[in-house]
């Protein structure tokens, strides 16, 4: 198997584009239910019909089959809505309705409205059920040799990890909890996942924008497949001196490799990277002039697809 860079994009950014094929887009949209919040006349997520059906008749939720809309009607503020969502999901977890809830994390993710206001919080493991936008931080750690060559620190996920076990990752990656800023999340994750000191992260990490995509979960993600997962990752670069070596700081990373650009490209082509981590590497290659219009025939599409405009509100 040899995947092209565009193949890697298509795997992670798999939801259809209206501009490319309006008929296919419309057919896809019409198979889902919109998730809405009472008194807000727009979608904050897309849900599979099989998932929406489980919410039928549950307090705080109403379903309109004609319009294919599931509405959270439980509460008029963040606290009340969040409590209604939590109560529902805990009950579903207890009854074993969804496999993804077996990976309950006790971490809350935010769901925003059109005015960038927080509408409610949702348990991290449940966010794909609701199809809401989730947020994370990804950091690429690298060094430059005396000859000017870039070498990149690449971790391998532990083989028994519930999601994407044994696959390659970015040096640091993690979700942003509700109420947490991206950079503070990064500092925390750098310590936990790569044993990188707060001092070096705060002084040397550089914000490099975002990568956005609309993922459709497969069996590697664990739990139910075909769940919709639009995501926004805040991207950072960290150029490290030779004497700073990332080391696993928790039980999620097997080991770190220091690889040349060509070695990273080879592993990407073999499909060894977690899908969204491959996109972050492509973004790094574009920003550092490694991937250019001269050496990549799909350059324009790749560069634009790394920054998809999501159809739901973001902060």
Q: Quick: pLDDT tens for 220-273.
A: 898 999 999 999 999 999 999 999 999 998 888 999 999 999 999 999 999 999
What domains appear along the chain, each with residue ranges and CATH number?
A: 5-14+133-305 (3.90.79.10), 32-130 (3.30.750.160)
Of 81, 67, 138, 84, residue with least CA distance to 112: 81
What pLDDT is recorded for position 306?
A: 98
**Rounded to an integer, what is the distance from CA 25 to the centroid of its chain?**
22
Q: What is the pLDDT of residue 267?
A: 98
pLDDT tens digit sequence for 291-305: 999 999 999 999 999
Q: How many CB atoms lie within 10 A of CB 259?
A: 17
Q: What is the pLDDT of residue 35?
A: 98
What is the number of other CB atoms lying within 10 angstroms of the CB of residue 74?
21
- pLDDT of res. 189: 96
* 24 phi/psi in degrees, rounded to 5: -65, -40
- Spatial distance between the Cα atoms of 121 and 61, rounded to a whole number of angstroms: 16
For range 167-182, the mean pLDDT: 97
Give me the pLDDT at residue 163, please: 84
- φ/ψ of 85, rounded to 5, equals -65, -45
State how far the Cα of 235 lies from the Cα of 264, in Å rounded to an integer. 18
In this prediction, residue 74 carries a pLDDT of 78
Q: Which two tokens stand for residue 110?
A: 């935010």
pLDDT at 1: 76
% of the chain exceeding 70 in pLDDT? 100
Q: Which residue(s) pair with 230 in the sheet?
A: 214
What average pLDDT score do residues 6-13 get? 98
**In angstroms, what CA-CA distances link 122 with 127, 141, 155, 233, 238?**
6, 31, 29, 18, 31
What pTM, to 2 d.p., does this model score? 0.96
Strand (E) or helix (H) holding 263: helix 261-269
**97 pLDDT more than 80:** yes
CB 224 within 8 A of CB 100: yes
pLDDT average, residue stretch 25-39? 94
Radius of gyration in angstroms for the set of CA atoms belonging to the chain, rounded to a whole number: 20
Q: Does residue 120 sit in helix, strand or coil?
A: strand
| pLDDT at position 162 over 90 | no
Share of residues in the chain with pLDDT > 90 (%): 92
Query: What is the structure's pLDDT at 13?
Result: 98
Q: Region 80-107: what's the mean pLDDT?
A: 96
Q: Is the pLDDT of residue 42 over 90?
A: yes
């Amino acid at each position: 198997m040899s995947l092209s860079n565009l193949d890697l994009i298509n795997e992670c950014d798999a939801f259809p584009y209206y501009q490319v094929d309006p008929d296919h887009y419309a057919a896809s949209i019409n198979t889902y239910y919109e998730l809405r919040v009472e008194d807000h006349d727009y979608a904050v997520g897309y849900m599979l019909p099989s998932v929406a059906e489980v919410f039928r008749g549950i307090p705080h939720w109403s379903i309109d089959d004609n319009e294919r809309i599931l509405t959270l009607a439980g509460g008029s503020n963040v606290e009340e809505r969040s409590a209604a969502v939590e109560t529902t999901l805990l009950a579903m977890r207890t009854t074993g309705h969804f496999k993804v809830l077996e990976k309950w994390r006790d971490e809350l993710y935010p769901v925003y409205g059109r005015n960038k206001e927080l509408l409610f919080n949702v348990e991290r493991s449940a966010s794909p059920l609701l199809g809401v936008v989730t947020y994370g931080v990804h950091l690429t750690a690298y060094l430059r040799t005396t000859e000017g060559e870039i070498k990149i620190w690449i971790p391998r996920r532990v083989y028994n990890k519930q999601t994407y076990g044994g696959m390659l990752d970015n040096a640091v990656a993690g979700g942003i909890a509700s109420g947490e800023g991206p950079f503070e999340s990064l500092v925390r994750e750098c310590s936990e996942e790569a044993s990188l000191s707060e001092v070096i992260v705060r002084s040397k990490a550089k914000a490099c924008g975002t990568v956005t995509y609309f993922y459709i979960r497969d069996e590697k993600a664990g739990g139910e497949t075909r769940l919709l997962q639009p995501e926004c990752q805040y991207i950072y670069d960290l150029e490290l001196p030779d004497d700073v070596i990332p080391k696993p700081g928790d039980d999620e990373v097997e080991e770190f490799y220091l690889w040349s650009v060509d070695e990273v490209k080879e592993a990407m082509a073999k499909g060894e990277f977690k899908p969204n981590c491959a996109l972050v590497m492509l973004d790094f290659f574009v920003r550092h002039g490694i991937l250019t219009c001269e050496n990549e025939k799909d350059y324009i599409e790749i560069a634009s697809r790394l920054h998809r405009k999501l159809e739901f509100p973001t902060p």
